[in-house]
Structure 1
Amino acid sequence: MTDILILTHVDYCPAGHLAHVLDAQELDFCVLRADLGELQGYDLDRPKAVAIMGGPMSANDPLPWIGAEIAALRHFIQRDIPLIGHCLGGQLLAKALGASIHRMPYNEIGWQPLSQSSQAAGNPWLAHLPEEFPVYQWHGDTFDLPEGAQRLLSSPWCPNQAFAWGDKVLALQGHPEMTEELVRLWLTDWAHLLDETQSSQQPRRQMLDDLPTKVAALNQVAEGFYRHWLKLAFA
């Protein structure tokens, strides 16, 4: 077992660039598929840092493993260890903290501009970021802010793009973990879900235009989040 735990929920929403960051630093990590019941029997007192990745399901779905994962997240929150959630992972963190998750009237998909909230000034999770920057999005649900949370980021289509709760919890609505391969995979296997008549969705060709440059910039965004997450765990 290792001190870093990554929870995933489907094979096509892996750790992505987070795994590359950990490998580059020669840090061991454990990946568990929560949807396959792999949290069962896991020692919840072991990890010093936990990342929760995305998935196509809703945090409101009546699936037994979702309830088990939310209970595990509450245990991690009680332990006061650094947690970072990506899309579904951010929604599960919000729900674990007592907030509601709900459908939006549209899907937000593509490279969307995020802007820092007025509440975000001086927050260390955002110390590496400009006032506005793009992050890849693919979601139809969104989270409300838990009591005591600090809104960090918003987009034109989704006001709650990120929140911090305390000094060790970061919930993100977007996908900073994306790689070129993942973007191409999603836009191939899930192209039937795209609807260019929705102004909240970018056209596929626009999402793929100059993809290496876009992903390289996204990697820098992600690495700042991950640096702070690891610093909190191991400093």
Structure 2
Amino acid sequence: MSEILILTHADFCPPGHLANVLDRAGHSFDVLRADLGELDGYDLQRPRAVAIMGGPMSVNDDLDWLKAEVAALRQFIERRVPMIGHCLGGQLLARALGAAIRHQPYTELGWQPMRRQESRSPWLAHLPEEFPIYQWHGDTFDLPPGAEHLLSSPWCENQAFSWGGFVLGLQGHPEMTEELVHGWVTGFPQYLDPSQPSQETAEAMLADLPAKVAAMNRVAEGFYSHWLKLAELA
């Protein structure tokens, strides 16, 4: 059993580039499917770093495993375990910290520009004032009490928050790889709606994909580096 725990919720929302970063650094990690009950019986005292990935469900769904996952996240918060949440994972962290999750009247899809809202956070030390992160969501989180607002986009005010210095909640998907972006765009055409200005077209999302993903990989690596440093695993 590893000291790094990654929680996933769907087979098409894997750790992605996070797994590449950990593999390159020689870190072992456990990947558990929370939606399949694999968190049941897990030793919550063991992890020194936790990452929570995305998924198609809503935090507001009345599902026992979602309630169990939020309860586990609250235990990690009490232990001050460094955590980073991606999309659904960011929403789950917000819920665990007492914030509401709201459904938007539109979906935000594609390469959306992030704007920094805070200039001194170590989570953002590697980033310029504006940069893109890939988005695919219809829900969004409110900021938890005591949270620091880090990023916003034109279609989603709350794109990232930090809490207590050791929690990072992200609305977007910096973990995406070329294969994942291509798979989502071509595999889920029913979610693409060109009438929504909050969405990019499929063609725009796939254009110059290697360069876009490589740039976002560098964004993600800065987040993951700080996360591992906080866990004294860097």
- TM > 0.5: yes
Percent same amino acid among aligned pairs? 69
Distance 2:28 2:87 in 1: 24
**CA offsets 1:133-157 (integer angstroms, 9 cap, x no match):** 0000000000000100010000000
In structure 2, the gaps of 5 or more residues are none
In structure 1, the gaps of 5 or more residues are none
Question: Match for residue 224 of structure 1?
Answer: 222
Aligned residues between the structures: 233
Measured after TM superposition, the shift of residue 192 of structure 1 is 1.5
AA partner of residue 65 (structure 2): W
Distance 1:192 1:147 in 2: 36
Measured after TM superposition, the shift of residue 101 of structure 1 is 0.2
Distance 1:81 1:128 in 2: 22
Distance 2:26 2:144 in 1: 35
Alignment counterpart, residue 178 of structure 1, candidates 170, 176, 179: 176
Measured after TM superposition, the shift of residue 188 of structure 1 is 1.2
Which piece of structure 1 moves more, 122-131 or 184-193?
184-193
Alignment counterpart, residue 138 of structure 1, candidates 133, 136, 139: 136
Question: Match for residue 152 of structure 2?
Answer: 154
Measured after TM superposition, the shift of residue 81 of structure 1 is 1.0
SS at match of 1:196: coil
**CA offsets 1:19-57 (integer angstroms, 9 cap, x no match):** 000000010000000000000000000000000000000
Question: Match for residue 103 of structure 1?
Answer: 103
Measured after TM superposition, the shift of residue 189 of structure 1 is 1.1
SS at match of 2:230: helix
**CA offsets 1:116-146 (integer angstroms, 9 cap, x no match):** 01xx121000000000000000000000001
Runs of 4+ with >4 A deviation: none
Distance 1:179 1:198 in 2: 25
Measured after TM superposition, the shift of residue 191 of structure 1 is 1.2
Measured after TM superposition, the shift of residue 2 of structure 1 is 0.5
SS at match of 1:161: strand
Distance 2:156 2:191 in 1: 19
Distance 1:218 1:121 in 2: 19
Question: Match for residue 114 of structure 2?
Answer: 114
Alignment counterpart, residue 211 of structure 1, candidates 203, 209, 212: 209
TM-score normalised by L of structure 2: 0.99
AA partner of residue 167 (structure 1): G
SS at match of 2:114: strand
Give the root-mean-square deviation of aligned CA atoms: 0.5
AA partner of residue 16 (structure 2): G
Distance 2:97 2:191 in 1: 30
TM-score normalised by L of structure 1: 0.99
Distance 1:192 1:40 in 2: 33
Distance 1:89 1:220 in 2: 20
